[in-house]
Amino acid sequence: MGSRTQFATRPSSLVIAVLCFGSMAGALMQSLVIPIQSELPALLSTSASNASWVVTVTLLAGAIAMPVAGRLADMYGKKHVLVTSAAVLLVGSLITALSSTLAPVLVGRALQGAAMGYIPVAISLVREVAPPHLRTGAVAAVSATLGVGGALGLPLAAWIAQSYSWHGLFWVSAALAVLVLAFSWLLVPATGSARSGRLDGVGILGLSVGLAVLLVGVSKGSGWGWGSATTWGCIGGGLAVLLAWGAYELRRRSALVDLRTMALRPVLFTNTAAVLIGFGMMAQSIVVPQLLQAPEATGYGLGQSILAVGLWMAPGGLMMMAMAPVSSRMIRRYGARITLAVGAVVLSAGYFMALFLMGSPWQLMLATIVACSGVGIGYAAMPTLILDNVPAGEAGSGVGVNSLMRAIGTTTAGAVMAALLTSQLQEMAPGGPSIPTSGAFQLCFLVGAVAALAGAAITLLVPPEAGRRAVPGPDADQELPIRKAGSPEPVRG
């Protein structure tokens, strides 16, 4: 009752808009430095290998932060975690904006990645503050920003980098962080009550070390070599740490992640599908820009500038947001399970289109729009399936783990696409640099299509009753039932 009283003082649309804006600002950090990635070694006076960590450290920090932030939100309250995440984004942005050497830039970028913990907390909070008849659409809108921020970040960052100093990228992110911090502090209600429990410091450390080592091995496999002992040492070591972490968490009364809840069939299959759909989302973000930028002398390249690439990709990002209300209506009519499967199939269709539409930028834009439509539909449906099948007290943690699974998919996509693009090379001139062949790009599109179809198939393994729940109409004011883990009947959240 207290949460309703607090929320009544603020229009729901305003709170939802703040959560969308904050989530989009956090997701923007994924693609912020991509336009200047090739220039980073010179800008930071370091090697190309070291400079690549400016991107990698952000993805790693984001992957670790999302499940941790979700758990902290369940324990200490969602608003506190949102405000803290915004403050972390501000500090990270300022450190990076004021730095010109590698070490402080890596610290700042890690903090920017950690701020992505805002996203799963915002998704779980919007379910509490939105009126019952708007909940599905609000969850869809906030969830879709995870893809939208990354997609729209490319043209925005390219324009800033070309028009101003590269430091301007981080001054802009600092300004966004100030707005997110102010809006979250002033406009987001402190709903519900915090859950009792002790902070699982060992669990946080184990998850952080295991994920970091594993994802470093995956993301650096192409550079180190897939036959390298370092690559497989990281992958094997990361998996070993995660297995030990899982055994420890199962014995904890107040665990960082309730693995028994995560093992429930609807949650497990949804998270597995999240890996594959996250893979599909990032694969096209990696491959299409390279194809657009490839020299025309290759016979297939389209010779576009960085800014032009960003503009060709931007409609896809906008389409993700446009699909949020479509996904909401589909969830109401057909359930989240079918909606997620449809999104994965549409994503796959976009990749199949790209196989035959490589001849001009506008053709690739069409294929990207279709693929991004599928991502928008799928990303919006995932948290609904998760929230329908975890206890109310595990909402933040459940969505955080789902976001982590998407992050694992995107990180894996980078490694797989790099390996595929280097599997078929051609020389532009005798003794000159080798570049991917057109067949390598087509292979990437084919793998993306298959991954998305596999995601659709896994989604259909979710029990039908888990993916469809009655949503109250405009005149309803009751709380939606939340299924308690292990209970056949829903209980009131």
What letter represents residue 247's amino acid?
A
pLDDT, residue 454, reads 94
Q: Are 409 and 284 in contact (CB under 8 A)?
A: no
Task: Give 483's pLDDT tier (boundaries 50, 70, 90).
Answer: very low
Task: Give 6's pLDDT tier (boundaries 50, 70, 90).
Answer: very low
Mean pLDDT taken over the chain: 82
Q: Are 373 and 318 in contact (CB under 8 A)?
A: no
pLDDT 10s digits, 146-158: 767 766 777 777 7
Give the whole-angstrom CA distance, residue 74 versus residue 58. Answer: 24
pLDDT, residue 424, reads 77
Give the whole-angstrom CA distance, residue 329 versus residue 322. Answer: 12
Comparing CA positions, the residue from 273, 250, 254 lying closest to residue 386 is 273
First to last CA, the chain: 12
Comparing CA positions, the residue from 171, 173, 192, 169 lying closest to residue 181 is 173
Provide CB contacts within 8 A for 113, sequence distance 6+.
29, 57, 58, 59, 60, 61, 62, 65, 92
What is the pTM for the complete model shown?
A: 0.78
pLDDT, residue 192, reads 57
pLDDT > 50? residue 490: no
pLDDT, residue 193, reads 54
Tell the burial category of 247 from Cβ atoms under 10 Å away from its Cβ (0-12, 13-18, 19+).
exposed
Q: Are 311 and 155 in contact (CB under 8 A)?
A: yes
- The two counts, helices (H) then strands (E), for the chain are 20, 4
pLDDT, residue 194, reads 56
For the segment 315-339, the average pLDDT, to the nearest whole number, is 87
**Range in 174-183, 253-262, 283-292 with the lowest mean pLDDT:** 253-262
**Enclosing H/E stretch for 182:** helix 167-187
pLDDT 10s digits, 104-146: 999 999 999 999 899 889 988 888 888 877 787 788 788 777 7
Q: Are 403 and 66 in contact (CB under 8 A)?
A: yes
Across 98-164, where does the E strand assignment appear?
Answer: none
pLDDT, residue 150, reads 67
pLDDT > 80? residue 34: no
pLDDT, residue 147, reads 67
Provide CB contacts within 8 A for 304, sequence distance 6+.
292, 293, 312, 361
Beta bridge partners of 434: 427
pLDDT > 90? residue 362: yes
Q: Are 166 and 44 in contact (CB under 8 A)?
A: no
pLDDT, residue 338, reads 93
pLDDT > 80? residue 323: yes
In terms of C-beta distances under 8 Å and separation of at least 24 residues, what long-range contacts does 357-360 make, across chains too?
Answer: 358/291, 358/300, 358/438, 358/441, 358/442, 360/302
Which residue has tokens 């993916």?
467
pLDDT, residue 341, reads 94
What is the torsional sign of CA 20, 192, 399, 79? positive
**Enclosing H/E stretch for 140:** helix 135-163
Of all residues in the chain, the percent with pLDDT exceeding 90 is 25
pLDDT, residue 182, reads 96
pLDDT > 50? residue 36: yes
pLDDT 10s digits, 226-266: 888 998 999 999 999 999 999 998 888 777 777 888 888 88
3-state DSSP assignment of residue 463: coil
Which tokens sit at 240? 């070993």
Q: Are 377 and 323 in contact (CB under 8 A)?
A: yes
Provide CB contacts within 8 A for 82, sequence distance 6+.
22, 73, 118, 121, 122, 125, 184, 188
pLDDT 10s digits, 431-478: 666 778 888 899 999 999 999 999 999 999 988 866 444 344 333 334
For the segment 3-9, the average pLDDT, to the nearest whole number, is 44
pLDDT, residue 7, reads 43
Beta bridge partners of 427: 434
